[in-house]
């Protein structure tokens, strides 16, 4: 049995549960009233007793589309007897009960009511690497390892240079010493003696 609405009654109903993906949740708030609203205020509240609206928009039904700004934003459309919204910017820890509040501002009388609430379940996408991201990570790590090897060759080239320079200088000193010894040990012959030997 359907009961008739009193002249000034406003009712809002919502689905029991909706599932969101990638931070976006669709929500339909249905309302019924004997009045044909021209101006409305649509708000969304988080929690069973939440007093702070997550998003709120004034809508003149001559232009029934609305968008709100913020970390969590709502965009939607009002059609006859329903408000279709997309709530964006939600995360997994925003899973909760959300209530739709409808206010009819014009024509009088002013009417308002809050819906029964909808459980939002927001699925999080895991940060698991895919095959392409794994190959990118591997190529980046290989490139960085090669750069580290190039940059961190260590003291070996310097050590080799020191050994070569030291060896060369030692060999040159040995040659110089032998030459000095050979020139100092040869007896000096006078000119007469050397002349006589011929």
Q: What is the pLDDT of residues 39-98, one digit of tens each?
A: 999 999 998 887 778 899 999 888 889 989 888 889 999 988 899 999 999 888 888 999
Q: How confident is the model at residue 153 (pLDDT cuts 50, 70, 90)?
A: low
pLDDT at 103: 93
Average pLDDT, integer, range 155-171: 79
pLDDT at 158: 74
Average pLDDT, integer, range 99-104: 93
Residue 196 in tokens:
């006589």
pLDDT at 34: 85
Residue 87 in tokens:
């709530």
pLDDT at 167: 82
Count of alpha carbons within 13 angstroms of residue 74, beta-carbon side: 24
Element (H, E) at 78: strand 73-79
Checking if the pLDDT of 171 tops 60, the result is yes
Average pLDDT, integer, range 120-124: 85
- Which residue would you say has higher pLDDT here, 189 or 38? 38
Residue from 115, 92, 94 nearest 44 by CA = 115
Of 57-66, 105-114, 154-163, minimum mean pLDDT range: 154-163
Phi and psi of 48, rounded to 5°? -65, -35
In this structure, the strands spanning 39-46 and 96-106 are antiparallel
Residue 95 in tokens:
């899973």
118 forms bridges with which residues in the sheet?
A: 98
Residue 78 in tokens:
């009002």
Distance (Å, rounded) from C-alpha 18 to C-alpha 121? 6
pLDDT at 165: 86
pTM check: above 0.75: no
């Amino acid at each position: 049995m359907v009961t008739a609405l009193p002249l000034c009654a406003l009712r809002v109903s919502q689905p029991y549960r909706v599932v969101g993906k990638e931070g976006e949740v669709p929500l339909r708030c249905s309302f019924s009233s004997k009045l044909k609203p021209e101006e409305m205020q649509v708000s969304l509240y988080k929690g069973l007793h939440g007093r702070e609206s997550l998003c709120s928009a004034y809508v003149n039904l001559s232009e029934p589309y609305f968008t709100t700004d913020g970390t969590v934003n709502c965009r939607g459309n009002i059609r006859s007897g329903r408000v279709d919204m997309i709530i964006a910017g939600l995360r997994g820890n925003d899973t909760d009960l959300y209530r739709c509040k409808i206010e009819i501002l014009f024509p009088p009388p002013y009417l308002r009511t809050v819906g029964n609430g909808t459980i939002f379940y927001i699925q999080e996408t895991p940060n698991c690497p895919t095959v392409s991201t794994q190959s990118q990570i591997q190529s980046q790590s290989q490139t960085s390892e090669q750069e580290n090897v190039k940059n961190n060759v260590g003291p070996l080239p310097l050590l080799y240079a020191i050994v070569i320079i030291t060896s060369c200088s030692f060999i040159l000193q040995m040659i110089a010493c032998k030459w000095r010894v050979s020139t100092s040990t040869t007896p000096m012959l006078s000119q007469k003696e050397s002349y006589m030997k011929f």
